[in-house]
Structure 1
Amino acid sequence: MSWRPQYRSSKFRNVYGKVASREHCFDGIPITKNVHDNHFCAVNARFLAIVTESAGGGSFLVIPLEQTGRIEPNYPKICGHQGNVLDIKWNPFIENIIASCSEDTSVRLWEIPDGGLKRNMTEAVLELYGHSRRVGLVEWHPTTNNILFSAGYDYKVLIWNLDIGEPVKMIDCHTDVILCMSFNTDGSLLATSCKDKKLRVVEPRSGRVLQEASCKNHRVNRVVFLGSTKRLLTTGVSRWNTRQIALWDQEDLSMPLIEEEIDGLSGLLFPFYDADTHMLYLAGKGDGNIRYYEIGSEKPYLSYLMEFRSPAPQKGLGVMPKHGLDVSACEVFRFYKLVTLKGLIEPISMIVPRRSETYQEDIYPMTPGTEPALTPDEWLSGVNRDPILMSLKEGYKRTSKIVFKAPVREKKSVVVNGIDLLENVPPRTENELLRMFFRQQDEIRRLKDELSQKDIRIRQLQLELKNFRNNPKNN
């Protein structure tokens, strides 16, 4: 019997990465030098947001996607945070609302004007305070409007209902800093990786840990739900300090289904999963490569496809939502690569080579759209619902009609000895403390000047009174 090689039939085996031309890149951007392991970039169908280097406080740029080329040094920024910005995420249902979190312990929501920023923005539409230490991660719920998750260095995950502007739940099962959060398709489960070397699957509304894995041989850094396959994929480091990925069954985390070593580099591996094509992308922080695999339901589960190579190291990557892709070019995924050394944001399109220019239905199934399936009250009451799907063929540029309305909060006051204690909130960071100190010094200087002016006025009035009394005409 003759040996015959077995070829896998896959429509994605020839997917290739295409870098945008220089005029379609974003140049001259002072990308942050912060070493926090995040992407520092967020993209939607209208805007690109990048965390930037700034002196004092934290700031980020928001640029309309059509405004490519060189960005002016004085381009308007969002600069309301008092500490470094650590994470930014666009609202999946309202395209001009972005959430940010910072070292100043706050989470803030910003509303971007339709044409982009014309001047610096310092006032957020909503400020959320609930963490006692800096906030490292924010994540929007995938099917519910106005539900936001934030993870802080106080080891807590807060669930915010933005309809009322308050935290409604707290997940308090972690014993160290939370490194990553990922939702399943309908948002009923939350997977987290943590610095305590544990992988957890949590029911977010109750905070109950459904599954927990102690990863001794595979130190987990990042975790991602693989759509509705009931599987998780983690990236991390093996006991020999090589980069590694592992595949898990979400209902049994006792042992990984498979573990696979990638290479011996030291940078973090960022995983990205496309549920429509069942493709997994692995991008290393500090190197320029993006490997991609196809995920199957049977062994060996992972099938290596190809690797996109680039000499320029990436600090982070933003990902375009499906409804922002160019379907006429058979584009199935698009990265926005942060090249810190050049101050450059470089779009990379993953393209399926096809001769036909007609719409390719086999590579563009129905995909989650821009309409929420649930309201916050429905989700909090225990309802789960799959995302509302849309076709990329018909009207995929359709904009959402939902408008964000910030909750009106009644101004509370606690007045003691004529001082409003809630108005004078204590500083949360060293930068904030310094700002408050200098502000108070200015205020003291102003009061001293005012006092000396009043002293001079009193002496003048006393002299006038004395002259008035000594005048013989007045006797």
Structure 2
Amino acid sequence: MGCIKLKNIFGEHWKQSYRDLKISPKPTQSGGLASSTTHVAFPWDVGSGGIVSVVDINNFDRNPPVMKLTGHTGSILDMDFNRFHENIIASSSDDFSVKIWDISNVQSNELNEAMFTLNGHRMKVTNIKWNPCVDFGLLTTSFDCSAKVWYVQFFLPFIRDASTGNEFFSVSINEHPSSCSWTPAGDKILVATKDSNVSLIDPRSGKSCDKFKAHDSNKLTCALWLGGSYGNDHILTTGFLNNKVRQLRVWDSRKTDTHLISHEIDSSPSPLIPHWDPHTGILTIASKGDLTVRIFQYMEGELSRAGEFKATGSLKSFCMVPTQVCDRTKCELGRFLFNTDCKQINATSLYIIRRSSSTTMSDLYAEPFENKKYAMADWMAGYERHSVFPSIFKKKCADMVKDKDAGCKFREISKAIHDCNVRFGSNFNNPEFVPVLEQLRDSISDLIKTIKI
């Protein structure tokens, strides 16, 4: 999306769906679904224990082949595909463990043994997230009020079970965590709690960089780092006001004593779960039990409503697919997967109508960028590699901002000239006209400087 503000984004439901499934109805703090560019994962409904099920993202046939990953002895609470190795998926459970699965080259529809089992938490593991830059770095949070960073050493296949051997970092949060995420550079972790507190922690130094109260009510809070071309190192939080009014807030990570933006949504007890797309600046907000999925755009420090759509029923679980899957020839800005009846997973594409057929894709999408991975050993040693955004994109944004400033200044000058004509039109020799002209001269000089920069 080339630095343009979007309105009237709408959702178009797919006629096809992933059918004949048995999706677990057990509640989770996460969205409950996970997607890569090739697969969709969800918890299978079983009487006891937990099974992670995986289907091909392009298979919409009835009774599709379902790969079942068995091994957890408790309910599945969260899943996350590795962005660098899309056949690697992590899962967490009520059984206090995290399992790492490799679904490539699986000969049958059932995988009984995980590549790794991470045993270090003392209570259920509620949220997991792969590092966006570091190869095989995994963040986990648990009801034992701790957050841990693990190094999953896939180049040592003989290590099958890890308790503390692969645990790089552990910190006590002192509260029950409700969400976790990495900064875009993969150097810090962001942990939100059920008491509306948010902690920014540097796992390599073991120090807490910041901690702040995000919302007034002590209810479940989600926190997300707004990275990429549009986020400006800001933090988005979702929470509650007076225990019932749902809120969005935006914070500057460098100064969290007060929020930059506070936006009230509605009154409902269900927490809002956000998804941020750094490629488009689109923020998708959904909540379990809701019918409405809300879409915002965050750009130039402004949070604006960009659209919404209604699901076909109350949401039970959901996720967004990676942006790379979207069909840009149809101006697809995102794709939302959701489950309403525990029998099928539906898909909804987010579209925007082009004003004319001549609108180019560069007007809708930012120039591509990526977080290049680097080794965990380098990360442990303090090495950092930040996302590189194309200079052509930055120049385009700067030019558009400059055009906007020049246009505003020109319109102010035009209005001032019109006011002068009304006020002094009958007598331009009025001495009071001189200071007004001098002010106009300064404004015109300022406009010329703006254009020349």
**Normalising by the residue count of structure 1, what TM-score does the alignment of the two structures yield?**
0.74
1:283 maps onto 2:286 in alignment: yes
- RMSD (Å) for aligned C-alpha atoms: 2.3
CA radius of gyration, larger in: 1
Residues of 2 paired with 1:387 and 1:258: CA distance?
25
Describe the superposition over 1:216-245 as per-residue Cα deviations: whole angstroms up to 9, x where unpaired.
Answer: 615451111111512111111111511111
Paired residue type of 2:232: T
Q: Cα 1:77–1:359, aligned 2, differ >3 Å: closer, same or farther?
A: farther
1:14 maps onto 2:14 in alignment: no
Q: Cα 1:33–1:373, aligned 2, differ >3 Å: closer, same or farther?
A: same
Describe the superposition over 1:125-153 as per-residue Cα deviations: whole angstroms up to 9, x where unpaired.
Answer: 11111112221111100011111111122
Paired residue type of 1:179: S
**Larger CA deviation: 164-173 vs 264-273:** 164-173
Residues of 2 paired with 1:146 and 1:381: CA distance?
16
Q: Which SS does the other structure have where 1:323 is aligned?
A: helix
Aligned with 1:106 (options 87, 91, 97):
97
Q: Cα 1:64–1:243, aligned 2, differ >3 Å: closer, same or farther?
A: same
Q: Is the 8 A contact 2:4 2:363 kept in 1?
A: no
Aligned with 2:53 (options 61, 77, 82):
61
2:436 is aligned to none
2:73 is aligned to 82
Paired residue type of 1:297: E
Q: Is the 8 A contact 1:173 1:207 kept in 2?
A: no
Residues of 2 paired with 1:216 and 1:289: CA distance?
23
1:360 maps onto 2:350 in alignment: no
Residues of 1 paired with 2:36 and 2:108: CA distance?
20
2:178 is aligned to 179
**Normalising by the residue count of structure 2, what TM-score does the alignment of the two structures yield?**
0.77
1:350 is aligned to 350
Paired residue type of 1:379: W
Alpha-carbon shift at residue 262 of structure 1 (Å): 0.4
Q: Is the 8 A contact 1:238 1:244 kept in 2?
A: yes
Alpha-carbon shift at residue 173 of structure 1 (Å): 3.5
Alpha-carbon shift at residue 189 of structure 1 (Å): 2.2
Alpha-carbon shift at residue 170 of structure 1 (Å): 2.6
Residues of 1 paired with 2:63 and 2:360: CA distance?
35
Identical aligned pairs, as a percentage?
Answer: 25
1:262 maps onto 2:265 in alignment: yes
Aligned with 1:70 (options 62, 73, 76):
62
Runs of 5+ in structure 2 lacking a partner?
157-161, 391-453
1:92 maps onto 2:83 in alignment: yes
Residues of 2 paired with 1:95 and 1:240: CA distance?
39
Q: Which SS does the other structure have where 1:25 is aligned?
A: strand
Alpha-carbon shift at residue 291 of structure 1 (Å): 1.1
Paired residue type of 1:71: N
Paired residue type of 1:283: A
Alpha-carbon shift at residue 357 of structure 1 (Å): 8.6
1:51 maps onto 2:43 in alignment: yes
Q: Is the 8 A contact 1:373 1:388 kept in 2?
A: no
Residues of 2 paired with 1:360 and 1:59: CA distance?
41
Residues of 2 paired with 1:283 and 1:357: CA distance?
33
2:224 is aligned to 224
**Larger CA deviation: 127-136 vs 74-83:** 74-83
Alpha-carbon shift at residue 311 of structure 1 (Å): 4.3
Residues of 1 paired with 2:360 and 2:69: CA distance?
39
Q: Is the 8 A contact 2:150 2:169 kept in 1?
A: no
Q: Cα 1:230–1:18, aligned 2, differ >3 Å: closer, same or farther?
A: same
Q: Which SS does the other structure have where 1:295 is aligned?
A: strand
Residues of 2 paired with 1:197 and 1:222: CA distance?
8
